[in-house]
């Protein structure tokens, strides 16, 4: 399981309370869902006024789980992290997010010591416009068109990606539905990540049972959702 934090929204001064919430959810998920591996994903759609190196260095002093960069652009790189999801937005047709940002990032990663993981990223309609949709100027895939989602995800695997990430968007009203997770997972031979709109323990359980290998929780941490009561 991964916890996604946007450094623009999570100041260093608030680390203690934020990471206490994350630790509490870790314990709950371990106890109820038997999940043992946890990660901290760090990134945002814009993140213009944050020293990412400083932020990650400070986070590593407090939380002792691997920190992986989930970049919104090639500017969001730091050797202070443990790894990097090298994202390509394959659900849209904007070349800047298919190869443009990646080309710029590659120039900066030639001597990197990060663990770099090529990741096919699919934006799925979560019932509201997401920041990713606005910034990338792409249209999310409809959850009613399961075949297109399956084919796009499998295309991502055939292109050489090591992970596929289905993202309903930050603050999604509707998370990726279990039947979509199962259908995509049945087609893939690589791990499947699901994120967006997960706010209850039951949703986490349903998503794992449907076939997700890793779930990502973000907005629910910022909103301090009480997982015991949902």
In the chain, the domains with their CATH numbers are: 2-229 (3.20.20.390)
At a CB cut-off of 8 Å and minimum separation 6, what does 194 contact?
A: 165, 166, 175, 176, 181, 207, 212, 214, 215, 216
**pLDDT at residue 48 is higher than 80:** no
Mean pLDDT across 111-127: 97
**pLDDT at residue 97 is higher than 70:** yes
pLDDT (tens digit per residue) in 61-85: 999 999 999 999 999 999 999 999 9
Alpha-carbon dihedral angle through residues 48, 52, 55, 61, given to the nearest 10 degrees: 170
Q: What percent of the chain has pLDDT over 90?
A: 85
Mean pLDDT across 111-131: 96
**pLDDT at residue 165 is higher than 70:** yes
- Lookup: tokens for 149: 């989602």
What is the pLDDT, as a whole number, of residue 229? 56
What is the pLDDT, as a whole number, of residue 114? 97
Among 168, 177, 166, 42, smallest CA distance to 114 is for: 42
Question: Which range is least confidently modeled, 112-121, 169-178, 185-194?
Answer: 169-178
Mean pLDDT across 49-70: 94
> Mean pLDDT across the chain, nearest whole number?
93
Mean pLDDT across 202-212: 97
Mean pLDDT across 181-192: 98
């Amino acid at each position: 399981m991964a916890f996604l934090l946007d450094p623009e929204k999570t100041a260093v001064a608030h680390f203690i309370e934020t990471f206490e919430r994350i630790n509490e959810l870790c314990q709950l998920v371990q106890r109820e869902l038997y999940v043992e591996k946890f990660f901290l994903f760090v990134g945002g759609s814009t993140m213009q006024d944050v020293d990412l190196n400083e932020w990650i260095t400070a986070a590593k002093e407090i939380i002792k789980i691997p920190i992986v960069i989930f970049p919104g652009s090639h500017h969001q790189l730091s050797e202070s992290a443990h790894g990097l999801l090298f994202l390509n937005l394959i659900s849209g047709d904007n070349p800047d997010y298919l190869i443009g940002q990646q080309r710029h990032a590659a120039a900066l990663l030639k001597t990197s010591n990060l663990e770099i993981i090529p990741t096919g990223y699919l934006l799925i309609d979560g019932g509201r416009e997401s920041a990713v949709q606005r910034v990338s100027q792409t249209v999310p895939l409809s959850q009613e068109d399961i075949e297109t989602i399956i084919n796009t995800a499998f295309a991502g695997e055939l292109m050489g990606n090591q992970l596929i990430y289905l993202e309903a968007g930050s603050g999604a009203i509707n998370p990726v539905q279990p039947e979509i997770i199962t259908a995509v997972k049945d087609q893939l031979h690589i791990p499947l990540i699901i994120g967006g709109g997960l706010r209850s323990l039951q949703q986490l359980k349903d998503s794992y049972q449907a076939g997700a290998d890793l779930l990502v929780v973000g907005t629910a941490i910022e909103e301090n959702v009480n997982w015991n009561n949902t």
